[in-house]
Structure 1
Amino acid sequence: MTSPFHLAFPIKDIESTREFYGGLLGCEIGRSTDKWIDFNFFGNQLSAHVKPEELVAAHTNAVDGKNVPVRHFGAVLEWDQWHGLADKLKEVSTDFIIEPYIRFEGEVGEQATMFFLDPSGNALEFKSFRDPSQMFAK
């Protein structure tokens, strides 16, 4: 059984965060004040706290010839759900850090992945495995 996680992270403001996570990504909005807001992030709890002084650009590491933000979070979606989100993000001209693509195509661990920033500059990765049982395959 998988347990949901909780993640707290800094943001620059409530309104752009509400529009991004609640509107664009379709996350249910939970409790909020003028200093923090909670989201149901694909079955997990995100707590976004207004703390602009803690926002810093993520450093990157080279992975498969791409610059992957070291500090990032996201979700593993079902294959069709990932493709639907990728299409939606392309339709609204999302500025991707790493455009949606398929890694390890035809190999063990084949996965779809994409990286982009939220309005506060937090890096997000969304991925999906063609065969979910291979999520931790070597």
Structure 2
Amino acid sequence: MSQLSPFHIAIPVHNLETCRIFYRDILNCEEGRSSDHWVDFNFFGHQLVIHFKEKSLEAETINEVDGKHVPVPHYGVVLPWDNFHAFAEELKLKNIKFIIEPYVRFEGLVGEQATMFFKDPAGNALEFKAFKDRSQLFAK
């Protein structure tokens, strides 16, 4: 497959209007169709739908990666290297509370990548990353 196709993801939110504002105004995602129970967004070229669901009391799960607590599940996108760093700075200016601050993994090695984690207002974990050499996205 030479070009990745856009994905579609639907996530639960217990605070539809608060999350609508977050995705639209903080992450700068263009809003699409909506109803009183869901909202579509252009999530960096992919379709993200936030659906209203009562708040869950399910405990968060984490995995240890590089000595950091990575939330599971999480979702996100791979951005171009320069876009990632500009976006990270923009998020800092908007006072995003990071779970994992932006940093570079595997520096100077195969698969060198920048990554950061934070949550939306409903507690859904997001990861944004970028590869120094995007052709190494699936390199071993």
CA offsets, 1:1-23, max 9 Å, x none? 21111111100122211111111
Selected match of 1:61 from 60, 63, 85: 63
SS at match of 2:55: helix
Alignment length, in residue pairs?
138
CA offsets, 1:45-82, max 9 Å, x none? 11110102347453100011000012000010011110
Residue number in structure 2 paired with 1:29: 31
Structure 1 unmatched runs, 5+: none
- Check whether the contact 1:82–1:126 (CA below 8 A) recurs between aligned residues: yes
Residue number in structure 2 paired with 1:84: 86
SS at match of 1:119: coil
- Check whether the contact 1:57–1:121 (CA below 8 A) recurs between aligned residues: no
Residue number in structure 1 paired with 2:119: 117
Residue number in structure 2 paired with 1:106: 108
For 1:8, the aligned partner's letter is A
Residue number in structure 2 paired with 1:47: 49
Residue number in structure 2 paired with 1:75: 77
1:94 and 2:96 aligned: yes
- Check whether the contact 1:59–1:71 (CA below 8 A) recurs between aligned residues: yes
Q: TM-score, normalised by structure 2?
A: 0.94
Provide the rounded CA distance (Å) in 2 between the counterparts of 1:104 and 1:6: 29
Residue number in structure 2 paired with 1:11: 13
Provide the rounded CA distance (Å) in 2 between the counterparts of 1:52 and 1:90: 30
Q: TM-score, normalised by structure 1?
A: 0.95
- Check whether the contact 1:59–1:70 (CA below 8 A) recurs between aligned residues: yes
- Check whether the contact 1:4–1:43 (CA below 8 A) recurs between aligned residues: yes
Provide the rounded CA distance (Å) in 1 between the counterparts of 2:134 and 2:15: 35
Provide the rounded CA distance (Å) in 2 between the counterparts of 1:112 and 1:58: 24
CA RMSD of aligned residues (A): 1.2
Provide the rounded CA distance (Å) in 1 between the counterparts of 2:39 and 2:112: 35
